[in-house]
Amino acid sequence: MPDLNSSLYTDMLRSSARGRSLPRRLFGAIRREFTSKPLYGLEWGDPETVEPLRFIRDRWVIPYVRPDYTALEIGPGGGRWTRYLLQFKRLYVVDFHQELSSELRKNFHRPNMVFIRNNGTDFPGVPDRAVDYVFSFDTFVHLDPPLIEAYLGNLKRIVSPGGNVVLHYSDKTKPMAQENPTFSANDPIKMRAMVAAAGFQVAEEDLTTMWHSSLIRLTH
């Protein structure tokens, strides 16, 4: 323990005050503005800094990333989550909207990435049983159950035996989903029924991290 008369604490306070001074903060903001490329989607929360999203990144994404595996992301948007999937051997990025696909391509265009525009539920060009890990965030929350059923049916074809599918979906048992008209009429009971009907098993669920939605991991 430092001596009672030590200047440790007052030095720390002075050093912090210097760091928090207006000129320093302005300089930091200007440097960030010039050095970072803001991704479309970070306004909904950055998994680097927003705790529940950081948890999802560390618990549901990073542990599955392997350089010898193939992954597929549905609805990547600007790449908020794509940036954590770049280390897969191959990464299919599937979006319904050309504009969004182009936005992603602006930020991330790596040789291991395959950009696919789909019809809203299919996986054109993806071989059977080729995908070891599927991730989708903030996309299924807006999809109505018939689209989710169609997606699950098509996922069955492309996911490898033992592969993992992590889907983030609307959970209308939660008040924040009930209040959001853009969130689809889904909940864990409906989701489990659709998953079972498509021939997948529920490996794991997360019903608590998000306030308006839930996550489910499927295998088959």
Ligand X SMILES: C[S@@+](CC[C@H](N)C(=O)[O-])C[C@H]1O[C@@H](n2cnc3c(N)ncnc32)[C@H](O)[C@@H]1O
- Residues lying near ligand X in the complex (CB under 6 A) are found at 41, 74-77, 80-81, 94-97, 100, 118, 120, 137-139, 143, 147
Tell me which residue of 116, 114, 131 sits closest to 166, measured CA to CA: 131
Q: Closer to ligand X at the Cβ: 94 or 155?
A: 94
Cα-trace Rg, the chain:
21
- For residues 198 and 153, what is the distance between their CA atoms, to the nearest angstrom? 5
Task: Give the relative orientation of helices 188-197 and 145-158 as an angle to the nearest 10 degrees.
Answer: 40
* Least spacing, CB of residue 6 vs ligand X, in Å: 48
Beta strand residue intervals within 34-172, DSSP E: 70-74, 90-95, 113-117, 131-136, 159-170
Q: Closer to ligand X at the Cβ: 77 or 163?
A: 77
> What are the C-alpha distances in Å from 148 to residues 21, 27, 90?
51, 47, 24
Q: Closer to ligand X at the Cβ: 11 or 43?
A: 43
* Least spacing, CB of residue 15 vs ligand X, in Å: 37
* Least spacing, CB of residue 190 vs ligand X, in Å: 18
Q: Closer to ligand X at the Cβ: 81 or 183?
A: 81
* Least spacing, CB of residue 82 vs ligand X, in Å: 8
Evaluated on CA atoms 154, 60, 39, 130, the torsion sign reads negative
